[in-house]
Structures are given as C-alpha cells and as structure tokens.
Amino acid sequence: MSTPSNSTTMLYLVPLIIMSCMRFVLAANFHRDFDILWGNGRGSILSNGKIVRLSLDEYSGSGIQTKCPYFFLRIDMQIKLIPGNSAGTVTAFYLASEGDKRDEIDIEFLGNLTDEPYTVHTNIFTKGNGSREQQFHLWFDPTRNFHTYTITWNPFMIVMYVEGTPIRVFKNMESNGVPYLKDMPMRVYLSLWDGDQWATRGGTVKTNWSESPFKAWFRNYKVRGCVWMNGESSCSSGSSNTVKHDWYNLKELDSSSKEMLKLVQHKHMFYSYCNDSSRFPHGFPLECDEK
C-alpha cells in the first residue's frame, strides 16, 4: 500500500484543524478544544470533555491551553477553587501570546488559610511589560460552588467580570501613548501551581504540602472569539465572518455597569498600582489618569 506524501497529508490535516478551531467558537468541549500542556498526569479532562480537574502536589502543578489562538474574544469560565487551607497555591485563568515580549491578561486566584478570603490578582502585560496589578477580595466563598469569571478582549477595551459584574477595565489608550494588546494572538490557559514565595501575604504563609494534592475544577466555558489561522483573524475586515456581536464592539460600559464597577472597586479592591506612589514616585502610568 502506498503512503501519501507529506504535502498531501497536510492538505488533509489543515481543513481538520480549521474545522476544529471554528467549532471552538460555537461549542464547548475540553477534549476537542484544549490540550493538556504540563503536569505529567495531574491535569485531567473528565465527564466526556465537560470538566477539567487540575491538581498540585509538592512535585508539580498542571495546566492546559486552547488548541487555537485568538485575536480578540470573550470567554466565560466556571471555576471552583481549592477549599480549606489553600495558602501558597495559585489557580490561574488567563490569556497569553508566545515569546518573551508577550501580551497577557491575567486572573489569578491566590490561596489562603482556612476561612480567610482568596485574593483575586489581576494583571495586564503589553509586549512583556506588566506591573499593572489590581487585587480584590471576593464577596462570596469561591470554593463551595462553581462561579463564572469572564474576560472580554476587543479592539477597544479589556474587561474582567466576576459573576457578570465588571471588576476591572483597561481601555485602548494608544492615542495617549499607552501600549495596547492588539498585535499578537493569544491562547486561553488554565493552570494550578505553587506560588508560595509570593502568593499568600507576600510569601510569609507557605504551602502546607501535607494537605496536597490540591485540586481546582473548571466547567461550562463559553467562547465567542476570532480564531487566528494562517496569519489572519476570522474577524478581519475583509472576511465574511466579521464580528457584529456586542462583545466585539463594546467601547464603553453602560451606566449600570459603570456603577457596579465603581462599587466593586470601592468595597472589594484593596490594591491598585494606580494608587501605589512608592512604586511610581515620579508619576503614575498614563492609563491611571483615565476615568
């Protein structure tokens, strides 16, 4: 029996890859849409692709990534965090491009001692530069049930949501000299890892490995996005698939969402780089002036 040439094989494989990526926009299945990235068996896709369980012990954590990169998207992810003494652990839900000069949008959940609140640590990197941290305490117990966390990234702004409530906005202010995330596609990542050098009270509370393995759970994600394939976005201006949806065209929060954002930041945000004069003695970053 003859075997196909490499070029012929690629002709068959490329349409399959494209179909998989396009289906990812429309439906949700971890088996089909994500690859286990690391962890040597500590990351598991369960229930016919409906649930991911990530595990962390003293030897390793675990993580997964989407098969397809995206160039703008909205993703909702239901997460149930580690119960009990989770000090030192970091459960992460984020977008990132490749390379040292990466773009990145982070939502990281920093564990704590039993009955102490989790910290939601957020950050935004542009071309490898971060230092845009904002931190919050949640207004519910994120370990008892699944809760929905959302990242919207479009040409105009980045918005992070908790249970539909906006907690952080980062606008495209390139006209004012602020770099924005619009040059590199990004994949979606989920990971669980040991961050006890910094994660809990600045690293003063260490991971208690006698309570490992620690486990976090993910399910019911929904992606609406622009697939990046062969150097082009499925939402490019010349494409018939140009996005017309609300998430892509969102330029401003509505008045109700702005009020919710203000309330959450007043009651639940306990750190913002835009208020830390010790880090910026010569003036805050330009985006801190945006109201």
213 φ, ψ to 5°? -80, 140
Q: Please indicate whether residue 211 is annotated as part of the active site.
A: no
25: left (phi over 0), alpha (psi -120 to 50) or beta: alpha
Question: What is the rounded CA–CA span in Å between residue 154 and residue 73?
Answer: 6
Q: Which of 98, 108, 133, 174 is catalytic?
A: 108
Report CA Rg, the chain: 20
Contacts of 189 by beta carbon, 8 Å cutoff, 6+ apart: 37, 63, 64, 65, 66, 92, 93, 94, 95, 96
Helix H, strand E, coil C: the string for 176-219 is HCCCCCCCCCEEEEEEEEECCCCCCHHHCCCCCHHHCCEEEEEE
Active-site residue, selected from the candidate residues 98, 104, 133, 290: 104
Please answer whether residues 234 and 227 qualify as being in contact, where contact means their C-beta atoms are separated by less than 8 angstroms.
yes
Please, are residues 100 and 184 in contact by the beta-carbon 8 Å criterion?
Answer: no
Instruction: Look up 252 and say whether it is catalytic.
Output: no
Residue 164: CB atoms within 10 A of its CB come to 10
Q: What is the DSSP string of 47-103?
A: GGGTEEEEEE-SS--EEEEESS-EEEEEEEEEEEPPPS--TTEEEEEEEE-SSTT--
Nearest-angstrom CA–CA distance, 73 and 65: 15
Catalytic machinery residues: 104, 108
